[in-house]
Amino acid sequence: MLEGVRVLDLSRLLPGGYCSMLLARLKADVIKVEAPGAGDPLRGLPSGAAIFAALHAGKRSVALRLKSETGRAALLRLAEGSDVLLEGFRPGVMDRMGLGFARLSAVNPRLVYCAITGYGSTGPMRERAGHDLNYLARAGLLSLMPPSDSLPSIPAVQVADLAGGTQAALLILGALLERARTGRGRRLEVSMTDVARSWLTAQRAALDAGESGLSLTGELPCYRVYAAADGFISVAALEPRFWEAFCESIGLPELRVRQADPAAAAEVAAVLKTRTRADWMAHFGDRDVCVEPVLSLAEAEADPQAAAIRRPAPAVGEHTSQVLLEAGLSPQAIEALERTA
């Protein structure tokens, strides 16, 4: 869907990488702009090389030192022929390097510029350092996580990072659609804290109404994780018809009217504990009961439902010469640029 669209990804770590991964899967030509040498800091983190490879498969890498005049000039040249520029610096950093939206828009009025930030570019926290856990804490989401040892449990995935990357991809698509009508790009901004806050729309609405809201963190017997004889099973029979079918299938039809009774969970747990996970899944078969096994990550990777499409990620600067030649730089200029890297 995005064939012919070129994206310059200046971001680092997970949020921007996830955003440009989504765009690359839509066939955009994503050029990862990294610092010469070590490249994206993600490469050097524990398991970072594997994570980087997954996020950046199929993209091309250009190594540019943006703090140098030649590096900035090369980026401006790339921006002239690009459709999207994605960055994840703190507010003001790109402007101080002479690469802010005003400068880039001057060389390419059609450019869609998207900044992913922690707290946004306005307000008292605009320049505050942070990571996913901080954004979840500020948004109020972390406080709603089920407690572990009296502390809010930390999600196993970086919710704000991934939500921010997804929101950025959505806004970029909208801006490209707008550009098709107007002929001009625009500046976009995504605050990961604001996106995490938006995920609490239902909870905030219930709070404003003075209600407790629908709790889906394990209190309801129809929506929780149960232990089987050798593993765990997820039950999400939220609608009455699914819950009734589930109760019938496990031999507890009397629980059909106790869908919201926390005490019913103990009775369900006692039954599900009597068989293995595989036995239960064979028993439920294709019935509409909203039950699935809790798979390990390795099992999920091997699951038939998982469509694995893997391509190699680029080495740092692997495509520098190729991309800069496409942008119109001469071989001599590229060689001089590489000497300053």
For residue range 72-107, what is the model confidence (pLDDT) as tens digits?
999 999 999 999 999 999 999 999 999 999 999 999
CB contact at 8 A, 81 and 6: yes
- Dist CA 325 CA 152 (whole Å): 52
Q: 187-191 and 151-152 as β-strands: parallel, antiparallel, unpaired? A: unpaired
- Please say if 56 is a catalytic residue: no
Residue 141: per-residue pLDDT = 94
Backbone angles phi, psi at 28, to 5 degrees: -70, 150
The first and second tokens of residue 243, run together, are 């819950």
Assigned CATH topology for domain 223-302: formyl-coa transferase, domain 3 (3.30.1540)
Looking at the chain, the number of H-run helices and the number of E-run strands are 15, 11
Residue 135: per-residue pLDDT = 96
- Dist CA 98 CA 25 (whole Å): 31
- Dist CA 254 CA 180 (whole Å): 59
In DSSP notation, 7-49 reads EEE---HHHHHHHHHHHHHTT-EEEEEE-TTT-SGGGGSTTHH
The pTM for the full model equals 0.83
CB contact at 8 A, 185 and 113: yes
Backbone angles phi, psi at 9, to 5 degrees: -105, 105
Average pLDDT per block of 10 residues along the chain, 341 residues long: 96 97 97 94 93 94 95 97 97 96 98 97 92 95 89 94 98 98 98 96 89 82 96 96 97 96 96 97 95 90 67 81 87 82 64
Residue 318: per-residue pLDDT = 87
With a CB cutoff of 8 Å and minimum separation 6, the contacts of 181 are none
| Burial environment of residue 186 by CB neighbours within 10 A (0 to 12, 13 to 18, 19 or more) | middle
Q: 29-34 and 6-9 as β-strands: parallel, antiparallel, unpaired? A: parallel
CB contact at 8 A, 86 and 18: no
Neighbours of 283 (CB within 10 A): 13
Assigned CATH topology for domain 6-199+311-340: Rossmann fold (3.40.50)
- Dist CA 265 CA 284 (whole Å): 19
Which position has the token pair 């400068």?
103
- Please say if 132 is a catalytic residue: no
Annotated active-site residue in 131, 149, 194, 279: 131
The first and second tokens of residue 137, run together, are 């804490």
Q: Where are the domains of the chain?
A: 6-199+311-340, 223-302
Q: How far is CA 199 from the centre of its chain?
A: 13
Annotated active-site residue in 161, 194, 279, 319: 161
Tell which residue, 54, 64, 8, has the closest CA to residue 34.
64
- Dist CA 28 CA 181 (whole Å): 20
Residue 308: per-residue pLDDT = 47
- 223-302 has the same fold as 6-199+311-340: no
